């Protein structure tokens, strides 16, 4: 395959290396600030200097991480949060996307606008709004109190705090990705299935879901990559201990001043996400090439 | 007639979805907006006791607010300008020139997206630690610059590729030099999409919190970083509310101008959808 | 006024395909030459080389004796009209036309005068302030033509300019373009894959195939005296019957006709309008289908081995399917090894438009 086949339908003017000069700066930036830090993180955490002054491969930092109760409870809370968020996102966004794909009413335009809207609300404002609405003496409490009902148990500073915030934050892109996948389900395919007698559920299960399974995986991968090491929302809305990997790494790095431990934690998050990361990047690259 | 009647049937699914989404997405923001224009709101009143702009005056009188606004704007302008300066020529090269390794380099910008973002930031912070870039303005610029690369290259590449080659040839034909063709034909044709990419990258930088917090705080205090400390330490709720409204302005501008790009199918495809 | 000379020009693409193979052509002053051929015949590549958008692998091109082979497009005295019109959608009609003049540092009043004059010429007077996206397909193509003409190029290049238009508009525009070309006496090279376009507009037609010239002649000569079986089959409708010549007689599946050439295989070429039919029970062919076009009829007949032959008749009601007929060609040509080996001098009637278009 030639270059032009992959990136786009362009027949390059002429093959001259001065193109390399134009792309050099951003490419070098990526090499220096993305690829090198990852390699360096792995090397740094497995290479130690022995008391005799010699280098040696050592997995000490990792065995500490995986034997330390606190680290492990942080990791398991991160896994729990990520899993719950992924499931909730699908449960929330799939119906929205299906609805948007198959209706063209004015209500649908409004629903699409709302579903995309969180993209234009920075997560820091979201955090503040969350506290004002669901926090102690927040709007929900006010409303419950005014009709004589008892207070809720606020999700603020519990594991559910980050879950609610992260789901809210990830709705727009999940809906957009699913909607883009649903675009490949033609009206004719649906009508033909109706014609041979498929009910709504059969239609969903046999016609629609198989075609968008890849989009669902992409949406989940994207969400997992974002949520697994989320920082702002868990830091503000989540409990102090156990904490998610994002705040944990930040505290280890800036407050405990143990960069090597923090980098070990980072490499652990890489390890847990690598499958999703590679799948996501492969899908994006494939899409871009097509 | 029957068909039109069927279409007129109330869209109950839509109405339920619209109602739930309004409650979940609009209500929290309305609450914040209300707090920003409230002088007194004591529990358990459902509506504030006194509306007013008192806390706007107080918030805008704070030195830390002004210094972080100017820090955020300086950072965003610097990062966006640098990003445009290095990415647009690169995007043009990817779209129109052929050179060894074109494909590999083009997809190398995806590398950062294969890893959890904050983990990657910690790994970069490890490098910055050795270079004494922690807590410096340029450290934050660098880390935010890396975050803009993918979209500042991929969106303009698509925009340049969408320009009809015949239009450029027609300009050569009437006597324009290659540079003049780029300036008078290619750039204006690709302009709206590129402007949207620049706007999105500006807004993305303005709200970037993680890198600024990890690399910059407390020396480099951007508006979102100040907001975190307001949420954590500030007992006066209205300060946070006023700051939230201020903070939302760039997003609102992006909402007005970049919505079309975001709603277009190619944007979602850029995310792999 | 200008002369274009193309000498032994070849174009081999980096992937190894030869698009144009040692092509030579002289276009006289004020002449309109059509490059005609199926897609992939190299005609567009050749035109793009004259415009400067492709560089020849070898060969020489001159305009009025000046070597332009390696001159970039912006320095060539050529003006190109693209198939997709390629108007600049971010400029209005006036700005599209004025852009080239501005680059030449023409004074503003002079630009205005010339642009308005050319818009008048293409029938779009007063359209200057329109956005090009508001124009119809035909108007857009006229603006594209005007954009080239306003710079008064020595050579006008047209790359299938009417391909995206509907049949009716195409016919009208080609008359207009031909009128303008003759009024300005501008030397023109025109690429098309539509033979009707070539036959109705060109002073000379170059029939191309696989990057090479098959025939260069006046339209009527190309039609009446095609030099190769490819040209015979490509222009108009032609019955090409493959058979064998022996002792001066061509025969094929029970049909035979005198052919004064040496023994061996041959392809017999007969235009439908030059083939007379007579009813006969012991006929050489059998009527398969009769189509009545009102002004004339077309009879599809079958030779004994199933070979199909078309004949034009003035009274289609005289023939029924299944009926036996004898064939009497009034004018024939014969080809062997891709070359013409015999031609009767009999003059065929003028081609009927319906047949030419088919």
B166 and C82 within 8 Å at the Cβ level: the answer is yes
In Å, how far is B39's CA from the nearest CA of chain A?
A: 16
C161 touches chain B (CB under 8 A): no
In Å, how far is B95's CA from the nearest CA of chain A?
A: 7
B12 touches chain A (CB under 8 A): no
Q: Is the pLDDT of residue C132 over 60?
A: yes
B111-134 pLDDT per residue, tens: 888 899 999 999 999 999 989 999
C73 and B172 within 8 Å at the Cβ level: the answer is yes
Contacting subunits of A (3+ beta carbon pairs below 8 A):
B
Size of interface B-C (CB pairs under 8 A): 66
pLDDT at C356: 46
Domains of chain B: 12-51 (no CATH), 63-270 (1.10.3720.10)
> With contacts defined as CB-CB under 8 Å, which chain C residues touch B171?
88, 99
3-class SS letters over chain C: CCCEEEEEEEEECCCCCEEEEEEEEEECCCCEEEEECCCCCCHHHHHHHHHCCCCCCEEEEEECCEECCCCCHHHCCEEEECCCCCCCCCCEHHHHHHHHHHHCCCCHHHHHHHHHHHHHHCCCCCCCCCEHHHCCHHHHHHHHHHHHHCCCCCEEEEECCCCCCCHHHHHHHHHHHHHHHHHHCCEEEEEECCHHHHHHHCCEEEEEECCEEEEEECHHHHHHCCCCHHHHHHCCCCEEEEEEEECCEEEECCEEEECCCCCEEEEEEECHHHEEEEECCCCCEEEEEEEECCCCEEEEEEECCCCEEEEEECCHHHCCCCCEEEEEECCCEEEECCEEEEECCCCCCCCCHHHHHC
Look up residue A154 and give its two tokens: 């606020």
B122 touches chain A (CB under 8 A): yes
| Chain mean pLDDT for chain A | 85
pLDDT at B8: 54
Name which of B47, B81, B123 to mutate to probe chain A: the one with the most chain A Cβ atoms within 10 A of its Cβ.
B123
Q: Is the pLDDT of residue B2 over 70?
A: no
> Which C residues in the span 128-157 are in contact with B, Cβ-Cβ below 8 Å?
144, 147-148, 151
pLDDT at C112: 92
Contacting subunits of C (3+ beta carbon pairs below 8 A):
B
Average pLDDT over residues C127-146: 89
pLDDT at A290: 58
Nearest chain C Cα to B188, which residue? C90
What percent of chain B lies above the pLDDT cut of 70? Answer: 91
Nearest chain B Cα to A16, which residue? B99
Q: Is the pLDDT of residue C346 over 60?
A: no
A229 and B114 within 8 Å at the Cβ level: the answer is no
Residue C242: count of CB within 10 angstroms of its CB: 12
Q: Is the pLDDT of residue C342 over 70?
A: yes
pLDDT band at C82 (very low <50, low <70, confident <90, very high): confident
Nearest chain B Cα to C78, which residue? B173
pLDDT band at C137 (very low <50, low <70, confident <90, very high): confident
In Å, how far is B161's CA from the nearest CA of chain A?
A: 7
Nearest chain A Cα to B7, which residue? A105
pLDDT band at B252 (very low <50, low <70, confident <90, very high): confident
pLDDT band at B3 (very low <50, low <70, confident <90, very high): very low
In Å, how far is A30's CA from the nearest CA of chain B?
A: 7
Q: Is the pLDDT of residue A273 over 70?
A: yes
Name which of A11, A19, A134 to mutate to probe chain B: the one with the most chain B Cβ atoms within 10 A of its Cβ.
A19
pLDDT at B99: 84
pLDDT band at A171 (very low <50, low <70, confident <90, very high): very high
Which has the closest alpha carbon to A226: A261, A275, A276, A282? Answer: A276
> With contacts defined as CB-CB under 8 Å, which chain A residues touch B14?
99, 103, 105, 107-108, 110-111
pLDDT band at C1 (very low <50, low <70, confident <90, very high): low
A188-239 pLDDT per residue, tens: 888 888 888 777 888 888 888 888 888 899 999 999 999 998 999 999 998 8
Q: Is the pLDDT of residue B211 over 80?
A: yes
Size of interface A-B (CB pairs under 8 A): 343
Parse chain A into domains and list their residue ranges.
62-289
A263 and B122 within 8 Å at the Cβ level: the answer is yes
B189 and C75 within 8 Å at the Cβ level: the answer is no
Nearest chain C Cα to B186, which residue? C88
B261 touches B196 (CB < 8 A): yes
A42-89 pLDDT per residue, tens: 998 888 777 777 778 888 888 888 999 899 999 999 999 999 999 999
User: How far, in Å, CA of A24 to CA of A18, rounded?
Assistant: 10
B94 and A281 within 8 Å at the Cβ level: the answer is no
> With contacts defined as CB-CB under 8 Å, which chain C residues touch B175?
74-75, 100, 103-104, 151
Q: CB within 8 A of C346, min separation 6: which ones? A: C274, C330, C331
A234 touches A81 (CB < 8 A): yes
C99 touches chain B (CB under 8 A): yes
- Closest by Cβ to B117, choosing from A30, A177, A226: A226
Higher-confidence position of A160 and C165? A160
Q: Is the pLDDT of residue B268 over 70?
A: no
Q: What is the DSSP code string of B139-175?
A: HHHHHHHHHHHHHHHHHHHHHHHHS-HHHHHHHHHTT
C103 and B172 within 8 Å at the Cβ level: the answer is no
B48 touches chain A (CB under 8 A): no
Nearest chain A Cα to B272, which residue? A284
A82-107 pLDDT per residue, tens: 999 999 999 999 999 999 988 888 88
Which stretches of chain B sit within 8 Å of chain C by CB? 164, 166-167, 169-177, 180, 184-185, 188-189, 191
pLDDT band at C115 (very low <50, low <70, confident <90, very high): very high
pLDDT band at B265 (very low <50, low <70, confident <90, very high): low
ipTM above 0.85, yes or no: yes
B1 touches chain A (CB under 8 A): no
- Helix, strand, coil distribution of chain C in percent, nearest 5: 30, 35, 35
Look up residue B163 and give its two tokens: 């320009």
- Closest by Cβ to B174, choosing from C52, C83, C99: C99
Q: Is the pLDDT of residue C166 over 50?
A: yes
In Å, how far is B88's CA from the nearest CA of chain C?
A: 20
Name which of A39, A129, A164, A226 to mutate to probe chain B: the one with the most chain B Cβ atoms within 10 A of its Cβ.
A129
B123 and A231 within 8 Å at the Cβ level: the answer is no
| Chain mean pLDDT for chain B | 86
pLDDT band at C264 (very low <50, low <70, confident <90, very high): confident
A62-289 placed in CATH 1.10.3720.10: yes
pLDDT at B91: 92
pLDDT at C93: 93
Q: Is the pLDDT of residue C262 over 90?
A: no
pLDDT at B267: 66
> Which B residues in the span 135-154 are in contact with A, Cβ-Cβ below 8 Å?
142-143, 145-146, 149, 153-154
pLDDT at A1: 34
pLDDT at B77: 95
> Which B residues in the span 208-227 are in contact with A, Cβ-Cβ below 8 Å?
209-210, 213-214, 217, 224, 227
Q: Is the pLDDT of residue C253 over 80?
A: no
Nearest chain A Cα to B90, which residue? A23
pLDDT at A13: 46
Average pLDDT over residues A254-274: 91
C147 and B170 within 8 Å at the Cβ level: the answer is yes
A177 and B122 within 8 Å at the Cβ level: the answer is no
β-strand pairing of C4-12 with C18-27: antiparallel
Domains of chain C: 4-224 (3.40.50.300), 236-357 (2.40.50.140)
B45-81 pLDDT per residue, tens: 888 888 888 888 888 888 888 999 999 999 999 999 9
B7-33 pLDDT per residue, tens: 556 778 888 999 999 988 898 999 998
pLDDT at B271: 66
Q: Is the pLDDT of residue C311 over 60?
A: yes
């Amino acid at each position: 395959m030639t270059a032009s086949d992959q990136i786009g339908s362009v027949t390059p003017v002429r093959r001259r290396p001065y193109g390399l000069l134009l792309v050099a700066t951003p490419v070098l930036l990526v090499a220096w600030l993305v690829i090198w830090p990852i390699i360096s993180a792995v090397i740094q955490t497995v290479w130690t200097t022995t008391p005799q002054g010699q280098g040696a491969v050592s997995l000490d930092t990792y065995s500490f991480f995986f034997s330390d109760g606190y680290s492990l409870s942080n990791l398991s809370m991160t896994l729990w949060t990520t899993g719950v968020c992924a499931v909730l996102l699908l449960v929330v966004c799939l119906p929205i996307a299906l609805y948007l794909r198959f209706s063209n009413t004015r209500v649908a335009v409004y629903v699409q606008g709302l579903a995309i809207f969180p993209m234009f609300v920075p997560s820091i404002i979201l955090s503040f709004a969350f506290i004002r609405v669901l926090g102690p003496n927040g709007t929900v409490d006010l409303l419950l109190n005014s009709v004589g009902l008892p207070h809720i148990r606020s999700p603020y500073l519990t594991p559910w705090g980050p879950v609610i915030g992260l789901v809210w934050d990830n709705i727009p892109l999940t809906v957009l990705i699913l909607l883009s996948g649903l675009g490949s389900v033609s009206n004719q395919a649906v009508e033909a299935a109706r014609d041979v007698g498929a009910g709504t559920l059969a239609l969903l299960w046999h016609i629609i879901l198989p075609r968008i399974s890849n989009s669902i995986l992409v949406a989940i991968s994207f969400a997992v990559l974002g949520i697994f090491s989320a920082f702002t929302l868990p830091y503000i809305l989540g409990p102090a201990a156990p904490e998610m990997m994002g705040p944990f790494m930040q505290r280890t790095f800036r407050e405990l001043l143990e960069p090597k431990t923090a980098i070990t934690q980072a490499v652990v998050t890489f390890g847990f996400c690598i499958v999703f990361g590679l799948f996501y990047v492969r899908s994006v690259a494939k899409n871009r090439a097509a | 007639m029957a068909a039109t009647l069927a279409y007129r049937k109330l869209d109950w699914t839509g109405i339920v979805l619209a109602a739930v989404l309004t409650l979940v997405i609009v209500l929290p923001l309305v609450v914040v907006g209300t707090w920003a224009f409230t002088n007194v709101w004591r529990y358990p009143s459902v509506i504030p006791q006194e509306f007013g702009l008192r806390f706007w005056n107080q918030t805008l009188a704070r030195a830390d607010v002004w210094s972080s606004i100017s820090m955020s704007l300086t950072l965003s302008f610097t990062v966006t300008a640098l990003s445009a300066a290095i990415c647009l020529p690169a995007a043009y090269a990817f779209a129109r020139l052929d050179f060894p390794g074109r494909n590999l380099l083009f997809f190398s910008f995806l590398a950062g997206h294969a890893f959890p973002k904050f983990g990657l930031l910690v790994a970069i912070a490890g490098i910055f630690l050795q270079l004494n870039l922690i807590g410096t303005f340029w450290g934050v610029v660098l880390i935010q610059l890396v975050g803009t690369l993918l979209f500042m290259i991929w969106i303009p590449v698509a925009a340049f590729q969408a320009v009809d080659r015949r239009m450029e040839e027609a300009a050569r034909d009437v006597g324009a030099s290659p540079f003049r063709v780029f300036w008078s034909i290619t750039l204006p044709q690709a302009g709206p999409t590129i402007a949207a990419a620049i706007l999105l990258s500006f807004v993305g930088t303005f709200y970037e919190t993680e890198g600024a917090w990890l690399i910059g705080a407390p020396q480099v205090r951007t508006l979102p970083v100040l907001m975190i400390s307001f949420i954590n330490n500030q007992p006066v709720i209205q300060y946070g509310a006023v700051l939230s409204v201020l903070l939302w302005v760039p997003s609102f501008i992006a909402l007005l101008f970049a919505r079309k790009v975001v709603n277009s199918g190619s944007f979602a495809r850029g995310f792999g959808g | 006024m200008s002369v274009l000379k193309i000498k032994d020009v070849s174009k081999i693409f980096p992937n190894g395909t030869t698009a144009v193979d040692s092509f030579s052509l002289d276009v006289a002053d004020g002449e309109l030459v059509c490059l005609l051929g199926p897609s992939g015949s190299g005609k567009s590549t050749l035109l793009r080389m004259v415009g400067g958008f492709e560089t020849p692998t070898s060969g020489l091109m001159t305009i009025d004796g000046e070597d332009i082979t390696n001159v970039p497009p912006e320095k060539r005295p050529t003006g190109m009209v693209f198939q997709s019109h390629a108007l600049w959608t971010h400029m209005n009609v006036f700005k599209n036309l004025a852009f080239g003049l501005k680059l030449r540092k023409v004074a503003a009043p002079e630009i205005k005068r010339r642009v308005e004059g050319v818009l008048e010429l293409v029938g779009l007077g007063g359209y200057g302030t329109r956005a090009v996206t508001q124009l119809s397909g035909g108007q857009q193509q006229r603006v594209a033509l005007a954009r080239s003409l306003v710079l008064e190029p020595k050579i006008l290049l047209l790359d299938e300019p009417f391909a995206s238009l509907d049949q009716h508009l195409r016919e009208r525009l080609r008359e207009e373009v031909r009128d303008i070309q003759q009024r300005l006496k501008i030397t023109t090279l025109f690429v098309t894959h539509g033979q009707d376009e070539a036959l109705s507009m060109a002073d000379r037609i170059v029939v191309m195939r696989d990057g090479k010239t098959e025939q260069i002649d006046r339209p009527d000569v190309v039609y009446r005296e095609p030099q190769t079986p490819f040209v015979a089959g490509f222009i108009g409708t032609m019955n090409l019957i493959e058979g064998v010549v022996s002792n001066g007689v061509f025969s094929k599946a029970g049909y035979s006709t005198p052919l004064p050439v040496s023994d061996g295989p041959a392809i017999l070429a007969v235009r439908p309008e030059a083939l007379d039919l007579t009813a006969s029970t012991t006929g050489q062919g059998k009527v398969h289908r009769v189509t009545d076009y009102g002004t004339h009829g077309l009879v599809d007949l079958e030779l004994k081995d199933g070979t199909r032959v078309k004949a034009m008749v003035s009274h289609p009601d005289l023939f029924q399917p299944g009926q036996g007929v004898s064939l009497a060609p009034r004018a024939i040509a014969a080809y062997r090894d891709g070359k013409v080996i015999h031609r009767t001098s009999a003059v065929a009637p003028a081609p009927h438009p319906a047949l030419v278009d088919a």
